[in-house]
Amino acid sequence: MFDYLIVGAGFAGSVLAERLAGGSAKKVLICDKRSHIGGNAYDHYNEAGILVHKYGPHIFHTNSREVFDYLSRFTQWRPYQHRVRASVDGQIVPIPINLDTINSLYGLNLTSFEVEDFFKKVAKPCEEIRTSEDVVVSKVGRELYEKFFRNYTRKQWGLDPSELDASVTSRVPTRTNRDDRYFTDTYQSMPLHGYTRMFERMLDHPNIKVLLNCDYREVEKEIPFKEMIYTGPVDSYFDYCYGKLPYRSLEFKHETHDQAVFQSAPVVNYPNEQSYTRVTEFKYLTGQEHNRTSIVYEFPKAEGDPYYPVPRKENAAIYAKYKALANQTRGVTFVGRLATYKYYNMDQIVAQALTTYGKIAGMKRIEAALHSNGNSNGNGHKPDSDPVAISGLAMTAATR
Ligand code: FAD
Ligand code: UDP
């Protein structure tokens, strides 16, 4: 008899599996309908031997020391500061919009002080910031909004920014200095040997069994277990009884080119002319050295695998009904981006999973992350030294 059946082997499911087994000596069966662990963060070496992210670029960043320390038990890191450019008016310029973006785009030579005045002049303040349009227009005005945000958002979400919560475009700041990093979090690093290797180490415990290519519905009646942790889409669990929750999907077009470098930045966003939103070149993210290079295009779409919950009032109202039902469902805990319908980054999901484990084990999150039942297989703190995993990866000076 398993103590837990965990549905989904992404961050939410894998952290909980590791904690329940490593922290509370529970017997865990974790299943995923995909053929691999890692959920959307899964990475692998493609046919050319280049490490790629199957489901689009995943860059780890967090302000939480707790989350960073917890994951550090399963991976070494490669320090990495992410940078993104946008293709606008025939130029490749920094996004988030910063001093250099404005100077390049308008052929100016403004200082940081002067660009503040520039933004003040063009901004269209609004009384209450409710939508994703309000966020941008109130900071940088309509013209820059239209160049960088309106069409990208329409493509990405199939909705106008005025129909989306402010939280969506609030993810992208505006700067008056020359800082061109996409994130400013305290901890910004990539798992040195990739995400999948990190997940393998998390799940490497005698009390954890992994079942792939398996929808939980195929086994829930066959395999005895006491409790379930569910990390799939919440509406699907309840057979869509309150209607379908919109999840935005993407189609990924992977390519490998016979050249060492494809583009001038790790990610280039295409807000306007193209039907894709962005192009990622993986070697920038992983630090791998190779004479060829692999990239991925992202084409947003309505149908397909669920990737993004869509933050807007109407959807929050539907989710509230599912949440009420979830709260009444004894023996099942709903965790993760799809099950709690939250546009969360990886670190937020790890934090959510650690908090959930803390509740189950009756501990605060910080204790929950560290607690050991004294019977672990020692997977934490084990030096990551598998020569196969690091072949072809050029380690940076900082991690050598
Ligand atoms: P998932 O990773 O979605 O895992 C859920 C798992 O459940 C899936 O593997 C699925 O197959 C499985 N499942 C569902 N239903 C069933 C079923 N019926 N039976 C069995 N298994 C089932 N975050 C960042 O921090 N930085 C980034 O740069 C970043 N980039 C992203 C780029 C893209 C294109 C996307 C889509 C997301 C990105 N994220 C990023 C967010 C990140 O992917 C998520 O926060 C994180 O992966 C969520 O983990 P999860 O375990 O909740 O869900
Ligand atoms: N966004 C945009 N133009 C850009 C970058 C982002 O309009 O060049 C908007 C868009 O709505 C996007 C949101 O800001 O969905 C959040 O961007 P982020 O890069 O965080 O998206 P993610 O990496 O989660 O897909």
pLDDT digits (tens, 9 = 90+) for 220-243: 999 999 999 999 999 999 999 999
Q: What percent of the chain has pLDDT over 90?
A: 90
For 132-148, what is the mean pLDDT?
Answer: 98
Residues with Cβ within 8 Å of residue 72, at least 6 apart in sequence: none
Closest by CA position to 309, among listed 270, 272, 271, 345? 345
For 95-121, what is the mean pLDDT?
Answer: 98
User: How confident is the model at residue 26, as a pLDDT?
Assistant: 98
User: How confident is the model at residue 364, as a pLDDT?
Assistant: 81
* Residue 364 is assigned to a structural domain of this protein: yes
Does the CB atom of residue 367 touch ligand 1 within 6 A? no
Same domain (yes/no): 200, 340: yes
User: How confident is the model at residue 365, as a pLDDT?
Assistant: 79
User: How confident is the model at residue 147, as a pLDDT?
Assistant: 98
Q: Domain residues for 361?
A: 2-77+189-242+309-390
User: How confident is the model at residue 382, as a pLDDT?
Assistant: 42
User: How confident is the model at residue 391, as a pLDDT?
Assistant: 26
Indicate whether 385 pLDDT > 60: no
Torsion of Cα atoms, 228 then 229 then 234 then 236, to 10°? -50
Amino acid at 200: E
Pocket test for ligand 1, best of 40, 237, 238 (most atoms within 8 A of CB): 40
Mean pLDDT for the chain?
93
Distance CA 393, CA 286 (A): 8
* Residue 350 is assigned to a structural domain of this protein: yes
Does the CB atom of residue 42 touch ligand 2 within 6 A? no
Q: How far is the CA of 39 from the centre of ligand 1 (A)?
A: 5
Indicate whether 389 pLDDT > 80: no
Q: How far is the CA of 221 from the centre of ligand 2 (A)?
A: 41
pLDDT band at 373 (very low <50, low <70, confident <90, very high): confident
Distance CA 230, CA 339 (A): 7
Does the CB atom of residue 187 touch ligand 1 within 6 A? no
Model pTM? 0.94
pLDDT tens track for 23-33 = 999 999 999 99
Would you give the distance in Å from CA 188 to the centre of its chain? 13
Closest by CA position to 300, among listed 336, 253, 338? 253
Residue 204 near residue 311 (C-beta atoms within 8 A): no
Does the CB atom of residue 8 touch ligand 1 within 6 A? yes
Query: What residues form DSSP beta bridges with 190?
Result: 78
User: How confident is the model at residue 17, as a pLDDT?
Assistant: 98
Residue 266 near residue 284 (C-beta atoms within 8 A): yes
Same domain (yes/no): 54, 132: no
Same domain (yes/no): 20, 159: no
- H-run or E-run covering 78: strand 77-79
Indicate whether 370 pLDDT > 90: no
* Residue 252 is assigned to a structural domain of this protein: no
Same domain (yes/no): 150, 47: no
Pocket test for ligand 1, best of 35, 37, 58, 190 (most atoms within 8 A of CB): 58
Same domain (yes/no): 153, 103: yes
- Between residues 261 and 382, the one the model is more confident about: 261
Q: What percent of the chain has pLDDT over 70?
A: 93
- Give whole-number Cα distances, 95 to 113, 160, 244, 255, in Å: 19, 20, 34, 24
For 103-111, what is the mean pLDDT?
Answer: 98
Same domain (yes/no): 236, 380: yes
End-to-end CA distance of the chain: 44
Q: How many CB atoms lie within 10 A of CB 219?
A: 15
Does the CB atom of residue 24 touch ligand 2 within 6 A? no
Distance CA 357, CA 23 (A): 9
For 260-288, what is the mean pLDDT?
Answer: 98
User: How confident is the model at residue 374, as a pLDDT?
Assistant: 59
Q: How far is the CA of 372 from the centre of ligand 1 (A)?
A: 27
User: How confident is the model at residue 397, as a pLDDT?
Assistant: 28
* Residue 165 is assigned to a structural domain of this protein: yes
* Residue 177 is assigned to a structural domain of this protein: no
Q: How far is the CA of 283 from the centre of ligand 1 (A)?
A: 22
For 284-291, what is the mean pLDDT?
Answer: 98
- Between residues 259 and 391, the one the model is more confident about: 259
Indicate whether 394 pLDDT > 60: no
Same domain (yes/no): 220, 332: yes
Does the CB atom of residue 288 touch ligand 2 within 6 A? no
Q: How far is the CA of 345 from the centre of ligand 2 (A)?
A: 13
* Residue 63 is assigned to a structural domain of this protein: yes
* Residue 268 is assigned to a structural domain of this protein: no
Pocket test for ligand 1, best of 231, 234, 332 (most atoms within 8 A of CB): 231
pLDDT band at 384 (very low <50, low <70, confident <90, very high): very low
159 DSSP 8-state letter: S
Does the CB atom of residue 252 touch ligand 1 within 6 A? no
Distance CA 213, CA 394 (A): 33
Does the CB atom of residue 164 touch ligand 2 within 6 A? no
Same domain (yes/no): 327, 382: yes
Residues with Cβ within 8 Å of residue 352, at least 6 apart in sequence: 12, 335, 336, 340, 342, 344
Pocket test for ligand 2, best of 40, 133, 140, 152 (most atoms within 8 A of CB): 152
Does the CB atom of residue 345 touch ligand 1 within 6 A? yes
User: CATH number, domain at 193?
Assistant: 3.40.50.720
Same domain (yes/no): 230, 339: yes
User: How confident is the model at residue 366, as a pLDDT?
Assistant: 78
Torsion of Cα atoms, 147 then 152 then 155 then 159, to 10°? -90
pLDDT band at 399 (very low <50, low <70, confident <90, very high): very low
Pocket test for ligand 2, best of 153, 160, 279, 349 (most atoms within 8 A of CB): 153
Which ligand 2 atom sits closest to the C-alpha of 156? 15
Indicate whether 380 pLDDT > 60: no
Ligand 1 atom 17: the closest Cα is on which residue? 215
